[in-house]
A and B are shown apart, each in its own frame.
Chain A
Amino acid sequence: MKKFHLMILMGCLAFGAAAAQDNMAGDSAAAPQAEAVAQEPAADQNQEAGKYARKSVSFVNALWLLDASTRGMKPEMVSYMLNKVQQGISMKRFDYNALPDTMVQSFVDAANAKDKLSIDDVAKLMEEQLVPQIMKILEAEREMRAANLLTDQQKNSFITDKAKELGVTGEQLERIMNSAYLYLPVISDFSLIKTGSGNKESWKCMAKCGILWYSLSVKGDQPKVTMRVKKMTMTMGLAKVKTGLFSNYTVDGESVTPEQYAFRSMVRSGVKNLVVATQTMPEFKLSGQVLEVAGRNVGFDLGKNEGLRMDDKYRIMVLTEAADGSINQEAAGWGIVNLVGDSSSKEGYKSKAQVIAGAPGIGAVMMEYPRLGIDISANFRTFPGVKDTEDDEVFGSGVGIQFDARYDVGRLFNWSQLFVGLGYGIGGTSTVGSLYPSYDGAAYANLDFFALQRFYISRFTVGAELGWASQSLTTSATVFGVPITTSFSGSGLFVGGNAGIAILPSLNLEAGARYEMGTIQDASGDLDHSGLGIRAGVTYSPAALPIDPWEMLRGSMGW
């Protein structure tokens, strides 16, 4: 792995605070003092519908510490964050303009030499220190990169077929020179504190992590850098303080302290959010067009080269011509990728998507709908009751709520809609068996780990799940006037199924049933906590999460 120097930009406190307030919502337009954004050259009138034009990006390996709260960050923290941001934003959809470390160091030194630093000041420093190198790279590689902009007709024109030339035009070269971006990581509102006491002591890290995106445009001989957008996301990390031999956490293949784990967990969650935020930017959003329609499946012209993945969701955009000749673009459905094409496939460079909603025709535009790849499900559920060894009811069925976080792991193996998840359910019952009248009811809690396979049939979903639940039961009783609380725990497998309907690309309504085969241990032996539970709720695919559920669970449990 490339070794990164530690580079820190110290921003002016006054400006840094104002900058943080600019972007509470996450997406931000350019700061008011920035000049109007230079427009890219007008697209070729023979441009194909939905064609994704690759952009080139340069990573400015320096972290802008936007406010005083970030002064407490240690150098290794800065280095880790820079590393993770670069790994996350290094997507196949971009071409990269590598900047030498020495050049970035000059830029950092020049920035740190200033008393005050604004967004425009940074742009100006980029023009002076970094842009000449970027221009060299662009000029050296522009023809090859412009070849990606060629249309079908241009790839099959006289120039390419007979003259054996690349066939790129001056207009396409100009677009390459004007489609370079620089990104600079930023951080603000940083806190890393220890909370709790005793065996509930834990480290909690919170911060707003972000990226400033600058674009480079060339007008005449003078290149100009302008800030386009600022993306910030609030995230947190948590780590229980452990004692003894195994007090450290393992992450990224390293053994780290709880404090470090909390920080790293925060950064990893933040970077995931920033990746999705980058993918939603209009300049960087992948798009393609439908090349063929076969039943409820469509073939379209994106694939591995653009970083397409199994289970990516795409909106289907349709152009409609009105009576007055005006043309409107509207979303007319969506689909899920179920085959990722590559340039060596026998069908040509074509991926397939299952159409969930809509009826796209040839030429419809497929527009990326980026999500985290984590589904959050919230359900009302029932809990099976508890019976003793005599099959007498101890506690009755309960009702409660369940939250699941489902990770789409199938995309790692090109297996569509395969999830592994963790869930937490809490509920209770006031029904007590006749044998235990002194009990005041029971509170149930489950921690589930499961695998789920989902299938889409048009908008409808059908799923099957298999998992393991760690069950706990807490009950209280008043004995001789003294309140006593007792907890029991157990575990068991469960199997279940669900069915639902996709309302939106990011929202499903679901209902399901699960048969739990758990037992709970108490002083007298095993209590049967098995039975059928039903549930109903919603499943949402978020674009950002303040914390990764798995990281949070690990941190809370000290795993």
Chain B
Amino acid sequence: MRVKCALAGLAVASVAMLGLAKDVVSSMPLSNQATFVESYSPAEVTIKATGLGGKTGFFKNDADKNAILDMRKSAVFFVMFLGTDPVLKTPEEKAKFESIQENFFLGENVNKYISWEADRVLTALQTTLPDGKKGSKITKMVRVNKKLLTDDLAAQGIMMSQGDLASAIGNPFIMVIPDAPKGQTPLDVLDKNPLAKHSAAVIESYLTARKYDVQVPQASDQLNEQVKMQTGLKGVEEDVGFQLAMAIGSDVYIVYAGQVQASGMGRKASLSCKAYETTTARLLGTETGYSQVRTSPDEVLIEEAMNDAVDKVLERLRAYWQDDLKKGLQYKLVFKLTGDFDEDQITDIQDAVTDQIEEMCGKNYKENVVSDKTMDYLIWAKKDEYSTASKIERKLRKELPEKVDGIKVQKISTNRKLLIIGIKEGA
């Protein structure tokens, strides 16, 4: 009898809990509708978001309040997951976030990422919610503090912080230069065109706000000249390889171009901005940006257009670097056969180089050119195994001669991610 009562009580409790469980609602956003409006600053973006909300009780008139909260959640969700450049880019980051997402979007937690919200709505509709009940649909403009969001996610281990990422891929230096027409250098353009200078300043402000390592082209050029002068004075022999490295400049170039034109009742700026790796020529990101037609000064139009573009380019840059961490850092290997080899030897050398690269990088390589004198490869080397280009060169120098008799491997030039290796006869 007692057992029966206990079982009955357990059954009742289970049903009650099931009933309670049915009432537990996900804290994830309901609407998820949002669009990007502008990059307000290096830290914030303006989003137009829509929220859906219903009443939480028969006598409660809180549909609007719930719709506005859902709108904020949708804006934050958009910044994190949606659009062309979300904060969480990789499947691993998204999977990690899933474990905390309910808590993250619980109640009004997202409010701290909303740095500004419009007083007025764009639209407010009475609509039918996905669950079939009547509710409100409100669209508003909000500003999301993307920097705070990424810092919090990094602190919780969901993603890498910008600093950690840069460090993991070798602290690349970035230089911002204008696209120079034929017959001019980027420095000439910077000296003569104040709008070009202004554009560079806008991009550099984004880079420095996000703690990237930035090289200033004018300062870099002066430094090179000083080094040249000093080594010349000391009678040191000219180092062509070094000159080449200095001429190349930074690891990543951000190159921009654009114009400001009369349009209707004002002027409009249109710009393009691309980032590429100097030594591999790999394009990391490219984007265009446009200003509104305004009567404002050209500098303001430039900045408006550039804000539009540079934020996206930097996100693409970050996405590539994150990929590099998984796949490995990209290097360009150029083998020069400087010795006098016959056909069979050349074939053996080519095979040996391919085998060596496969041993080092597995399938993460790409054969570009293989000729009798030159072999050009792109490889992806794990940072854990090869933290610098010199280590790759060392491995090649030691192991390649073991695969083919009668060759000697020597370094011609190692410059950031470009390795030029010479193969000649030797014991």
Report the bound CA distance from A152 to B142 in whole Å: 10
Assess the A163–B300 pair: CB atoms within 8 A. yes
B63: nearest chain-A partner, CB-CB? A361
Q: Is A163 touching B120 in the complex (CB atoms < 8 A)?
A: no
- Write out the residue numbers on chain B whose beta carbons fall within 8 Å of the beta carbon of A47: 122
From the candidates B61, B123, B128, B264, name the one contacting A363 in the complex (CB within 8 A).
B123
Could you give, for residues 92-131 of chain B, a 1 whenever the CB lies within 8 Å of some chain A CB and a 0 otherwise? 0000000000000000000000001011111111111000
Contact residue among B37, B143, B293, B307 (Cβ-Cβ distance under 8 Å from A169): B293
- Asked whether A318 is an interface residue with its Cβ less than 8 Å from the other chain, the reply is yes
B295 pairs with A301, CB closer than 8 A = no
Chain B positions within 8 Å of A364 at CB level: 124
CB <8 Å contact, B121 and A169: no
Judge whether B118 and A152 touch: CB under 8 Å: yes
For the complex, what is the distance from the CA of A169 to the CA of B265, rounded to whole Å? 9
* A319–B124 touching, CB < 8 Å: yes
From the candidates A143, A170, A291, A323, name the one contacting B120 in the complex (CB within 8 A): A291
In the complex the two chains form, is B120's CB within 8 Å of A320's CB? no
Question: Given A170-B264, A170-B294, A301-B119, are A153 and B124 neighbors across the interface (CB < 8 Å)?
Answer: no
A152/B64 in contact, CB under 8 A: no
From 244 to 271 in chain B, residues with beta carbon under 8 angstroms from any chain A beta carbon are: 263-266, 268
Q: How far is the CA of A48 from the CA of B124 in the complex (A)?
A: 10
Given the contacts A48-B120, A169-B292, A320 and B300 also touching, CB distance less than 8 Å: no
Q: A12 interface residue, CB < 8 Å from B? A: no
Residue A321 CB within 8 A of the other chain: yes
A157 in the interface (beta carbon within 8 A): yes
Q: In whole Å, how far is B164's beta carbon from the nearest beta carbon of chain A?
A: 29
In the assembly, what is the distance between CA of A361 and CA of B134, in Å? 13
Q: In the complex, are the beta carbons of A49 and B121 less than 8 A apart?
A: yes
Stretch at the interface among B10-18, B40-48, B347-355, B402-410: B40-48
A170's partner among B37, B136, B265, B300 (CB-CB below 8 A) is B265
Q: Does A158 contact B (CB under 8 A)?
A: yes
Q: Which residues of A contact B41 (CB under 8 A)?
A: 158, 162
With A153-B46, A159-B304: A143-B64 Cβ-Cβ less than 8 Å:
no
Within 8 A of A (CB), among B298-312: 300, 303-304, 307
Q: Enumerate chain B residues within 8 angstroms of A27, measured Cβ to Cβ.
A: none
- Give CA–CA (A320, B122) in the complex, Å: 14
Q: How far is the CA of A152 from the CA of B125 in the complex (A)?
A: 19
Cα A321 to Cα B68 in complex, Å, equals 17
Contacting residues, chain A, for B64 (C-beta < 8 A): 293, 361-363
| B137 within 8 Å of A (CB atoms) | yes
Report the nearest A residue to B47, measured CB to CB: A153
Known: A158-B40, A362-B68. A170 touches B293 (CB 8 A): yes
B48: chain A residues within 8 A (beta carbon): 46, 153
Question: Which residues of A have CB within 8 Å of B287?
Answer: none
Q: Once the chains bind, are B118 and A362 in contact (CB under 8 Å)?
A: no
User: Closest B-chain residue to A142, C-beta based?
Assistant: B265
With an 8 Å Cβ cutoff, the count of chain B residues facing the other chain is 42
Roughly how many angstroms separate A79 CA and B266 CA in the complex, as a whole number? Answer: 43
Q: What is the interface size of chain A, counting residues whose CB is below 8 A from a CB of the partner?
A: 42
Nearest chain B CB to A43's CB is how many angstroms away?
11
- B14-58, CB under 8 A of A: which get 1 and which 0? 000000000000000000000001111100001010000000000
Option from A159, A174, A291 in Cβ contact (under 8 Å) with B300: A159
A153 touches B141 (CB 8 A): yes
How far is the CB of B165 from the nearest CB of chain A, in Å?
Answer: 26
A281 at interface, CB cutoff 8 A: no
Q: Which residue of A lies closest to B266 (CB)?
A: A170
Q: Which of B41, B63, B127, B136 has the most CB of A within 10 A?
A: B127
The verdict on B275 contacting chain A, using a C-beta distance below 8 Å, is: no
- B296 near A: Cβ within 8 Å? yes
B124 to chain A, nearest CB (A): 2
Interface residue B138 (Cβ < 8 Å from any Cβ of A): yes
Cα distance A320–B294 in the bound complex, in angstroms: 35
With the chains together, A359 CA to B120 CA distance in Å? Answer: 18
Contacts of A171 in B (CB 8 A): 292-293
* Count: A-B pairs, CB below 8 Å: 125
Closest to B118 in A: A152
B-contact bits for A284-301, CB 8 A (1 contact / 0 none)? 000001010100000001
Residue A504, interface by CB 8 Å: no
- Whether B123 contacts A151 by the Cβ 8 Å rule is no
Say whether A553 faces chain B, with CB atoms less than 8 Å apart. Answer: no
Q: Given the known A-B contacts A169-B293, A319-B125, A363-B124, are A153 and B118 also in contact in the complex, defined by CB atoms under 8 Å? A: yes
A residues in contact with B124, CB < 8 Å: 49, 289, 319, 361-364
User: Which of B123, B266, B295 touches A319 (beta carbons < 8 Å)?
Assistant: B123
Question: In the assembled complex, how far is the CB of residue A327 from the closest CB belonging to chain B, in whole angstroms?
Answer: 7
Cβ–Cβ < 8 Å partners of A177 in chain B: 265
Taking CB atoms and an 8 Å cut-off, the chain A residues in 143-159 that contact chain B are 143, 151-153, 156-159
Q: Specify which chain B residues have a CB less than 8 angstroms from the CB of A152 in the assembled complex.
A: 118-120, 141
Assembly CA distance A301 to B121 (angstroms): 11
CB–CB A168/B295 < 8 A: yes
B116 in contact with A321 (CB, 8 Å)? no
| Residue in B40, B68, B137 whose beta carbon sits within 8 Å of that of A157 in the complex | B40
Q: Which residue of B lies closest to A332 (CB)?
A: B126
B121: which A residues are within 8 A, CB to CB?
48-49, 289, 362-363
What's the Cα separation between A265 and B178 when bound, in Å? 74
Measured CB to CB, the closest approach of chain B to A231, in angstroms, equals 31
Q: Tell me the bound Cα distance from A363 to B123 in angstroms.
A: 7
B141/A165 in contact, CB under 8 A:
no
> A173 interface residue, CB < 8 Å from B?
yes
Distance between Cα atoms of A327 and B143 in the complex (Å): 27
By a CB distance below 8 angstroms, the chain A residues around B294 are 159, 165, 167-170
Please, what's the 1-or-0 string for A354-398, where 1 marks a CB less than 8 Å from any CB in chain B? 000001011110000000000000000000000000000000000
Distance between Cα atoms of A142 and B268 in the complex (Å)? 18
| A51 close to chain B: CB less than 8 A | yes
- Determine if B141 and A46 form an interchain contact, defined as CB atoms under 8 angstroms apart: yes
| Contact indicator B126/A320 (Cβ below 8 Å) | yes
Given A169-B292, A361-B124, A158 and B137 contact (CB-CB distance below 8 Å): no
Contact status of A321 and B292, CB under 8 A, knowing A173-B266, A363-B124: no
What's the nearest-Cβ distance from chain B to residue A366, in Å?
12
User: Please, which residues of chain B bring their CB within 8 A of the CB of A48?
Assistant: 118, 120-122
Q: Is the CB of B295 within 8 A of A173?
A: yes
Chain A CB within 10 Å, residue with most, of B48, B116, B126, B143: B126
Is B266 within 8 A of A320, CB to CB?
A: no
Chain A residues with CB under 8 Å of B141's CB are: 46, 151-153
* Bound form: Cα–Cα A340–B46 in Å: 32
Question: Are A49 and B120 neighbours in the complex by a CB distance under 8 Å?
Answer: yes
Contact partners of B122 in chain A: CB under 8 A: 46-49, 151
Distance of A49 Cα from B119 Cα, bound (Å): 11
Shortest beta-carbon distance, A194 to chain B, in Å?
Answer: 58
A86 to chain B, nearest CB (A): 31
- Near B by CB (< 8 A), chain A positions 30-54 give 46-49, 51
Q: How far is the CA of A168 from the CA of B292 in the complex (A)?
A: 9
Write the chain A residue with the least CB distance to B263.
A170
Q: Are A170 and B292 in contact (CB under 8 A)?
A: yes
Interface residues of B in 60-100 (CB under 8 A from A): 61, 63-64, 68
Q: List 6 A-B contacts (CB under 8 A).
A: A47-B122, A49-B122, A152-B118, A159-B300, A165-B294, A173-B266
B→A interface (CB under 8 Å): 37-41, 46, 48, 61, 63-64, 68, 116, 118-128, 136-138, 141, 143, 263-266, 268, 292-296, 300, 303-304, 307
Given contacts A173-B266, A361-B63, 17 further A-B contacts (CB under 8 A): A151-B122, A152-B120, A153-B46, A153-B48, A157-B46, A167-B294, A170-B264, A170-B268, A170-B292, A173-B295, A301-B119, A319-B123, A321-B125, A321-B127, A361-B136, A363-B64, A364-B124
| Chain A interface (Cβ < 8 Å from any Cβ of B) | 46-49, 51, 142-143, 151-153, 156-159, 161-163, 165, 167-171, 173-174, 177, 289, 291, 293, 301, 318-321, 323, 327, 348, 359, 361-364
Listed from nearest, the 6 A-B pairs whose CB atoms lie closest are A363-B124, A170-B293, A152-B118, A363-B121, A153-B141, A321-B127
